[in-house]
Amino acid sequence: MTRGAARVCLAAAGVCLAGCMIGPKYSRPAATTAPADQGQLPAEFKESNGWKQAQPAEGTLTEDWWQAFGDPELNGLEEQVDVSNQTIKAAEAQFRQARALVAESRAGLYPTISTNPGITTNRGSSTVATASPGLGEYGNFALPFDLTYELDAWGRIRRSIAAARAEMQATAADLATVRLSMHAELAIDYFELRSLDAQKQLLESTLAAYQKALDFNQNRFAGGLASGAEVAQARTQLETTRAQSVDIGEARAQFEHAIATLAGRSPESLSLAQAPLATAPPVIPTGIPSQLLERRPDIAAAERRMAAANEQIGIARAAFYPILQITAAGGYQASSIVDWFNWPSRFWALGPNALQTLFDAGRRRAATEAATAAYDATVADYRQSALNAFREVEDSLAALRVLERESAAQRVAVEAARQSLDLSTNRYTGGLVTYLEVVTAQSTALANERIEVDLLRRRMDACVLLIKALGGGWDVTKLPS
């Protein structure tokens, strides 16, 4: 019996060592299949022409990419995101769950051992014919151990582990995507708030100038040099601008609340002092399009889910082959507690078994077709993620290039509007024109200055969106193995 058991184990080990992997071998497909590019990625971004590239000394984006803006207050807020943001915490918990599932799948490589001890008192029926009539009452003391081990002859377990590992890596990339999105959203909200501070500062200085203009017109009216209509125009201009200044407070409060929420804080616990946006956006190193496949966490997540879907095809195909197992049972069993652990009370059983489905009405074939279709869907998702990434980078590059030129032109327009206002004011003081011309020049100057402030805000937002489109400072080397 011992030699027979040894032969069974050796045969089982041979089958296990000779086991093969059923199903397709995974290889990452091309990121695009458009006829125009024949699956090849472009050597550079289309909209990078005219874009000032970062110098080699400036290096590449780091994980703490927001430090490139040189704003200590922004840096402090961004540091709170990783610690307290609840959306990131949820994504991190999902990653830990996926990592635990890898360990659960890996457990299939090892045997399962269980026990079911029990003590029972039995009495056979006297009115039923049995093999042992008149046995009466007897005890049953059992301490059995059962061992079950599935031979992974067709690679089902190994593919399950690979699929779980790929899904775990995809979840890690999801975590990086959420982290990048939360940091980018906070940066955009922060620059929106600082832009409103700049608008507020502009309106406050304009209000001071308008108040002087109203006082000037009231004095002229008192001296009989101006009409009541001119005083009314000056007052209307002043109060309209004051209303615009007050209205900014609502939007600023909302952005401040949003920043507090992103930092994991309650709105009442965060108060940001007014600090107008004044710095120009930094120069961002863009790299080449093919690097996006390594630097974008959402693309990495799509690629890993594509690998997991490929493993599912192999798992589905393995169902066409028998499940090979080795089972063993042993322990002690006796009719009295005195004899329970005596050597003669031992029992054991050992042997292989196989389970093969002979007919399932096409269920396994349908499962294989479903797994293949699911894989095709992940391939399409991967390619679409890559195309979206290229588009987002191109959009941000175009926006930064155009907005920089527009800002330069707007600076000239602001200077011209200020000169026009000075000329109109002097002409009005000299009695050459009515105050309506001054009001028109004031409105034009204020509108152009507000546009200039808003253009700076748009440039900062586009810079953040470019960093987000480039994947921030993340790359696939950060995926857990």
User: Which runs of E-coded beta strand occur in 251-291?
Assistant: none
Pairs from 467-470 (Cβ < 8 Å, separation ≥ 24): 467/61, 467/65, 467/68, 467/184, 467/284, 468/180, 468/181, 468/184, 468/392, 469/296, 469/389, 469/392, 469/393, 469/395, 469/396, 470/61, 470/284, 470/286, 470/287, 470/292, 470/295, 470/296, 470/393
- Within 327-432, residue ranges assigned H as helices are 363-429
Q: What is the pLDDT of residue 58?
A: 46
CA distances from 67 to 72, 78, 81, 340 (A): 8, 9, 14, 73
Instruction: Specify the amino acid at residue 101.
Output: L
Contact (CB, 8 A) for 98 and 479 = no
Helix (H) or strand (E) holding 83: helix 72-84
Burial of 155 (0-12, 13-18, 19+ CB in 10 A): buried
Both tokens of 295, joined, read 């630097």
Closest C-alpha to 21, from 194, 152, 170: 152
What is residue 48's predicted lDDT score, i.e. its pLDDT?
67
Using DSSP's 3-state secondary structure scheme, residue 143 falls into strand
pLDDT at 78 (0 to 100)? 96
Instruction: Report residue 207 as tokens.
Output: 């209000």
φ/ψ (deg, to 5) at 19: -60, 150
Distance between CA 321 and CA 318 in Å, rounded?
6
pLDDT at 430: 85
Cβ atoms within 10 Å, residue 195 = 24
**In the CATH scheme, what is the homologous superfamily, with its name and number, of domain 24-110+155-320+363-478?**
Outer membrane efflux proteins (OEP) (1.20.1600.10)
400, 404, 406, 407 alpha-carbon torsion, rounded to 10°: 130
Per-domain boundaries in the chain: 24-110+155-320+363-478
Tell me the backbone φ, ψ of residue 152, rounded to 5 degrees.
-85, 60
pTM of the model: 0.86
For residue 310, count CB atoms less than 10 angstroms from its CB and return exposed for 0-12, middle for 13-18, buried for 19 or more.
buried
pLDDT tens string, the chain, 481 residues long: the values are 455 554 555 455 545 444 578 889 998 888 876 655 555 677 677 776 655 554 443 456 888 999 999 999 999 999 999 999 999 999 999 999 999 999 999 999 999 999 999 999 887 777 766 555 555 677 889 999 999 999 999 999 999 999 999 999 999 999 999 999 999 999 999 999 999 999 999 999 999 999 998 998 899 888 888 889 989 999 999 999 999 999 999 999 999 999 999 999 999 999 999 999 988 898 888 877 888 889 999 999 999 999 999 999 999 999 999 999 999 999 999 988 888 888 999 999 999 999 999 999 999 999 999 999 999 999 999 999 999 999 999 999 999 999 999 999 999 999 999 999 999 999 988 888 888 898 999 999 999 999 999 999 999 999 999 999 999 989 999 999 8
Phi/psi-derived region of residue 70, left when phi > 0, alpha when psi is between -120 and 50, beta in every other case: left
- The CA angle 83-89-90, to the nearest 5 degrees, is 170
